[in-house]
Structure 1
Amino acid sequence: MLSQYLPEDFVAFWEEATAEADGISVDFERRKTTMQNLPEHEVELIDFLGMLGARLHGWIAIPRENPAPGFLWIPAYGHESHLPNEHSTRLGMASMSFNFHGHGAFHQEEYRPARGYFAQGIEDPRTWIFRSMAQNCLVAMRVLQAQPEAGDLSAAGLSQGGGMAIWTAAHSPLVKNVVADLPFLSAMRYTLGKELYRYPLKEVADFAATIPSGMERVLRSVSYFDTVNQATRLKVPTLVSLGKKDPAVRADTVRAVYEAIPSQKKLIEYDTGHDWNPAMIDADLDWMLTEV
């Protein structure tokens, strides 16, 4: 239950999704802002055209000395934006992040199950919200590549962001390096086979109970996105971390992701739960700067 289980048309599914994302024009606008500037970076607003004609809003942090290596920082689950800080920026690197849901670059909002989107469209893999979210990460990589201050690019994130960093690298040749801290949506046949008590993942079980053959349909959709399956497509150096006390992304599911990666890789095991660990800051920076 912890091993890979790619559906027969996995490659065709993602070739189609990637082609759609590649068909989106690199259309962006940058604007100065006096908000969120950091000592070692200048932060600007950046808007760009995403899937389905959506205009997505984010920020880009430019180091004082550039061009420099860059990374796309993919936010964790929820409607809020990840602000520029010690995790979403790194000394000597350019970084960019955006809000998946059309909110502003610095939008803040606490998670509530009523605002959850985990089950949105999950009855079919082509309508599940994570398909367009994954596509928007592919578009965002091309937008970041177009910035003159950014050199070689990595994809990075924690939880949702960590899982989607792996997805992005699996389908974008622009990604030269991956940092996946506590990557979510890992070994979901195993996870969804257990009683779920914690949100946001419980959103999926709640929805499955409302439709015929609910969990069977959910598992089919999830199989195209499961980070264990996506990991099999990686060709670049990948750093994975887990929390030994993590109740949301269990350590054994992250180890399954790590084992599925065929490329150069490293696993760090933190003695903490589903949260930021200060050691990630230097560990992730070192990986992105040296393993390219």
Structure 2
Amino acid sequence: MTQVDVYRPDDFDEFWDATLRQVATVPLRPSFEYVAERSTDAVAVYDVHYDSWEGLRISGWYAVPRGSGPHPALVLVPGYISEPVIPRSWAEKGYAAFAVAPRGKLRSNERYNPGYPGLLVDNIVDHHTYGYRGFYVDSVRAVEALLTRPEVDGDRVGVHGSSQGGALTITTAALMPDVVTCGAAGAPYLCGFMDAARLTHSYPYEEINEYLRDHPDHEQRVARSVGYYDGINFAPSIQAPMLVYIGLEDDVCPPETGFAVHEAMKCDKELLTYERCGHDAGMHWAMDKVEAFLAGHLGVAR
């Protein structure tokens, strides 16, 4: 098994503390617009918007069981290319579920649209302007927007996603240790950036390889910059119980990086591995365990 080595900047915590203080000066301005044609007799659906890093307006879909609640919150964070779908199925299980579309997604691309490929290397040599700074904040603000709803139980907050969503689950849990109750991260991306790019030639990490072929003298600058964004550096700050699940033949997010981020976690944690599974992270078998994990920690009957 390849050793994954990650540079951790001395001012990592200070950088993110300053980031959260800065975005706190931006009014959230949450908007939840009921969408009758997308709702059902059991689930109410809302078109959501809120303000985030640099004042960008971020969108999402909110689905909640009809009734006063309180309902446990579940924030669903998307993969690199995938667009969030209306989370009616999670609402039917009893969650106040919010599927967020961070900047660059189709419904949140006003003033920011680096494209795919493109996001991974957008301003990658400057950690102050790197594209994922806003992306990580968008997920934090999604939790804050969800917690403005009166039917949501703020003491029960889960985060779930796979690939990029797995990364955002990790970073959000780390940046909101006093808020997030639990997280389930599949095939976590954005962990061990530099080693992952060496271990695979699949996209999105191939974007880094392509960038360094064009700019071979930038390798140290890239490594230093992404150190501020690496999930392995966020992992020790997580306090909530975490479930990580990976496919042992994943050629998109190498399993070595999944083992490394799980190892870096100091919280209560569980790791599921699936042989002969790739970037799906064994979803066919894993999802029942993911649902049980979330339900157990968030108090939802199954």
TM over 0.5: yes
Match of 2:180 in 1: 175
Query: Aligned Cα RMSD in Å?
Result: 2.5
Closer/same/farther in 2, CA of residues 97 and 216 from structure 1, 3 Å limit: same
Separation in structure 2 between the aligned mates of residue 161 and residue 38 of structure 1, nearest angstrom: 27
Separation in structure 2 between the aligned mates of residue 105 and residue 113 of structure 1, nearest angstrom: 13
Give how far 1:166 is off. Answer: 0.6
Give how far 1:169 is off. Answer: 0.9
Separation in structure 1 between the aligned mates of residue 6 and residue 290 of structure 2, nearest angstrom: 26
Separation in structure 1 between the aligned mates of residue 250 and residue 61 of structure 2, nearest angstrom: 30
Instruction: Map 1:15-34 to 2 at 5 A.
Output: 15-34=17-36
Structure with more helix by fraction:
2
Separation in structure 1 between the aligned mates of residue 5 and residue 90 of structure 2, nearest angstrom: 31
Deviation string 1:147-177 (CA, Å, 9 cap, x unpaired) is 1222111121110011111101111132111
Separation in structure 2 between the aligned mates of residue 39 and residue 2 of structure 1, nearest angstrom: 49
Give how far 1:88 is off. Answer: 6.2
Separation in structure 2 between the aligned mates of residue 87 and residue 118 of structure 1, nearest angstrom: 30
Match of 2:138 in 1: 136
CA contact (8 A) 1:245 1:274 kept: yes
Q: Which runs of 4+ in 1 moved over 6 A?
A: none
| 1:286 counterpart letter in structure 2 | A
Closer/same/farther in 2, CA of residues 242 and 67 from structure 1, 3 Å limit: same
- Is 1:76 matched with 2:79? yes
Closer/same/farther in 2, CA of residues 12 and 275 from structure 1, 3 Å limit: same
- Is 1:247 matched with 2:247? no
Give how far 1:192 is off. Answer: 2.8
Instruction: Map 1:188-203 to 2 at 5 A.
Output: 188-194=193-199, 196-203=200-207
Give how far 1:255 is off. Answer: 0.9
Deviation string 1:16-43 (CA, Å, 9 cap, x unpaired) is 1121232222311111224544675322
CA contact (8 A) 1:180 1:238 kept: yes
Structure 2 residue runs of 5 or longer lacking an equivalent are: none
Deviation string 1:235-273 (CA, Å, 9 cap, x unpaired) is 111111101221111222101111110010111113321
CA contact (8 A) 1:71 1:153 kept: yes
Closer/same/farther in 2, CA of residues 16 and 74 from structure 1, 3 Å limit: same
Identical counterparts, % of pairs:
26
Instruction: Map 1:1-292 to 2 at 5 A.
Output: 1-3=3-5, 5-37=7-39, 40-65=42-67, 66-78=69-81, 80-85=82-87, 91-101=93-103, 103=105, 115-151=117-153, 152-172=156-176, 173-194=178-199, 196-211=200-215, 213-271=217-275, 272-275=277-280, 277-291=283-297
Deviation string 1:194-225 (CA, Å, 9 cap, x unpaired) is 4x421222112212233362221111111111
Give how far 1:285 is off. Answer: 2.2
Number of matched pairs: 286
Structure 1 residue runs of 5 or longer lacking an equivalent are: none
Give how far 1:139 is off. Answer: 1.3
Closer/same/farther in 2, CA of residues 88 and 289 from structure 1, 3 Å limit: closer
Give how far 1:181 is off. Answer: 0.9
Closer/same/farther in 2, CA of residues 58 and 132 from structure 1, 3 Å limit: same
Separation in structure 2 between the aligned mates of residue 4 and residue 198 of structure 1, nearest angstrom: 20
| 1:77 counterpart letter in structure 2 | Y
